[in-house]
Structure 1
């Protein structure tokens, strides 16, 4: 599903379809991947749905929004699934989602992660107007039995990686087009797959089990980077603090990042400069001084910040702010 940055693939938009054809159009759109029975909550009142997609490495991402519906997959449908099934990892971004699986029901809110294996009978949907964000992982790449995925899906919050995974998924959805176009997209897709695998394994087994320790080790780089992003603008984000937070030595921290091709100090500066660049271009922060923006982004020295900013972007922070303000003014005229 590749495309230029900022242009997601439009999978379906029922606003472009005649009202009397929308039921069939929605069914057809879903049947392109796997068969389902679709029941709309109130077809007489009008059906709306819009699905957009991106691809980050080996992951497909789908943003779905629309009126209430249920998608039912029965044992009959499972006989017609594709050869390479997927595991979906979904966030409910609006409304309350509902999943019925293995005789149990889950209600999904904004802080819930839903994991569903394609090779399992279930019902999914929401009432009223809702939206969700789902990423699709090749089940073969995940490498877990169907039974493990199904059982773990009810125990996700028992995993020590739950909050980390939730934050990571939200980060993916902040700007999927930028991530899709980035050179690191394949590595990001692989790291996300490993993180989801570790989430499921650690939800199923005690953290002392060898299989869990192995999964945690495999996702250490992803967990460290997620931690860095959460605390990016804090001036006391030192190597020692990062290492302690992950129960490793400072030497191990540098080794892990070096294997991923990352220089810790340079990574922090680059990411902080990008945050500062966005703040300086925003009208919401126009009253902040350059020094205040620098401090807000984790720089302890305004002069050091200005030198780094100019080296990175070819303009001083003040020049960039004026340039961004002029560009905004021209767009508004």
Structure 2
């Protein structure tokens, strides 16, 4: 679901725009929302339903979200709301006497429907003719799906959590990828990816709390596979990238890695995944207008192929055209015509 309600010509005026947007968000969380930019408000929401998990991308000029003790007592759907701030800043105030927590771009913030909170999100750089924008990815997840108890999780609820390293960075990149590809997912895929979000979130929170023993073997296995996928994408340029290297980097045996990866990848082997990622990257970069002056061999090297003949054979086997034929065809279709 994508909801856009711009103010101005052809759209709702600011106040009506804000009320419309607020009603959309209230469908997923019972909280009071206000903004310093109500009169000129424009908001965007993109929502993907992944089985029991909901992923939302939001863009607003500013927002204050409050859930009071009275709201908690009146209705509690026993859910967590995780926010990844991708643009702007925030100030989070949880249950007293916890001090305020400053939120920066790239950080996570977890709130519980069972605990009051008061969070402010704003853009410190927006001014003049350019309206401020705050952008974030949110995850709504039932408490019952996480293996860590709510009592244990209270230690991290309401404060800023790192999203740029370790399992936090892995979760952040996974969510960003989900948002980009969500519209293309089939229902069966969406449900499986929802459980992958649960597993990655569980592993990340367990490590933050130093209680990895609470994780099920299945959760640990899923996290390992996602970590391997991310490692492959980061190192496609390395011609030595191969299953033995990846197993050593993740401190697991090669046979264990092969078995888990194939089991959690619909039968695709790790070696096949590496080849596919390399060919997909080469296919994109050869068709990229910004890289048109880069020699084909340079793109081959960026994809882990130091020898041109090997690259040409692999590319033609994967895509049915030679690298040069694909580039010529792709660039001719994007080159502007002169009439």
TM-score of the two chains, using structure 1 as the length reference: 0.85
Gaps of 5+ in 2: 124-131
Q: 1:53 aligns with which of 47, 53, 70?
A: 47
- In structure 2, C-alpha distance between the alignment counterparts of 1:109 and 1:124, rounded to whole Å: 13
Residue 264 of structure 2 is aligned to residue 253 of structure 1: no
Contact 1:142 1:197 in 2 (8 A): yes
Shifted more, 259-268 versus 115-124: the winner is 115-124
Q: 1:14 to 1:74 in 2, by over 3 A?
A: farther
Which position in structure 1 is the counterpart of 2:126?
A: none
Q: 1:163 to 1:283 in 2, by over 3 A?
A: same
Residue 102 of structure 2 is aligned to residue 102 of structure 1: no
Contact 2:108 2:160 in 1 (8 A): no
Contact 1:234 1:298 in 2 (8 A): yes
Give how far 1:80 is off: 4.4
Which position in structure 1 is the counterpart of 2:57?
A: 63
Give how far 1:219 is off: 2.2
Aligned to 2:225, the other structure's residue is in SS state helix
Aligned to 1:167, the other structure's residue is in SS state helix
TM-score of the two chains, using structure 2 as the length reference: 0.83
Contact 2:84 2:109 in 1 (8 A): yes
The count of residues paired between Structure 1 and Structure 2 equals 320
Give how far 1:73 is off: 0.7
Q: 1:288 aligns with which of 285, 294, 297?
A: 294
Residue 329 of structure 2 is aligned to residue 315 of structure 1: no
Gaps of 5+ in 1: 1-8
Q: 2:110 aligns with which of 112, 115, 125?
A: 115
Contact 1:97 1:108 in 2 (8 A): yes
Give how far 1:19 is off: 2.9
1:141-191 deviation line (CA, Å, top 9, x unaligned): 22443333332344844995233333333433444334x349644333222
Residue 224 of structure 2 is aligned to residue 230 of structure 1: no
- In structure 1, C-alpha distance between the alignment counterparts of 2:144 and 2:88, rounded to whole Å: 31
1:240-299 deviation line (CA, Å, top 9, x unaligned): 221122111112111211222231111111111111111011111111222211111112
Which position in structure 2 is the counterpart of 1:3?
A: none
Residue 307 of structure 2 is aligned to residue 301 of structure 1: yes
- In structure 2, C-alpha distance between the alignment counterparts of 1:185 and 1:307, rounded to whole Å: 35
1:64-86 deviation line (CA, Å, top 9, x unaligned): 11111201011222244464x43
Q: 1:163 to 1:24 in 2, by over 3 A?
A: closer
Aligned to 1:166, the other structure's residue is in SS state helix
Contact 1:243 1:253 in 2 (8 A): yes
Q: 1:218 to 1:191 in 2, by over 3 A?
A: same
Give how far 1:312 is off: 1.9
- In structure 2, C-alpha distance between the alignment counterparts of 1:272 and 1:238, rounded to whole Å: 12
Residue 335 of structure 2 is aligned to residue 329 of structure 1: yes
Give how far 1:194 is off: 0.4
1:100-249 pair list within 5 angstroms: 100-103=93-96, 104=98, 105-128=100-123, 129=132, 130-153=134-157, 154=159, 156-157=161-162, 161-178=167-184, 180-181=185-186, 184-205=189-210, 210-211=213-214, 214=217, 216-249=220-253
Which position in structure 2 is the counterpart of 1:91?
A: 84
1:60-115 deviation line (CA, Å, top 9, x unaligned): 221111111201011222244464x4322221111102221123322222221222
Aligned to 1:133, the other structure's residue is in SS state strand
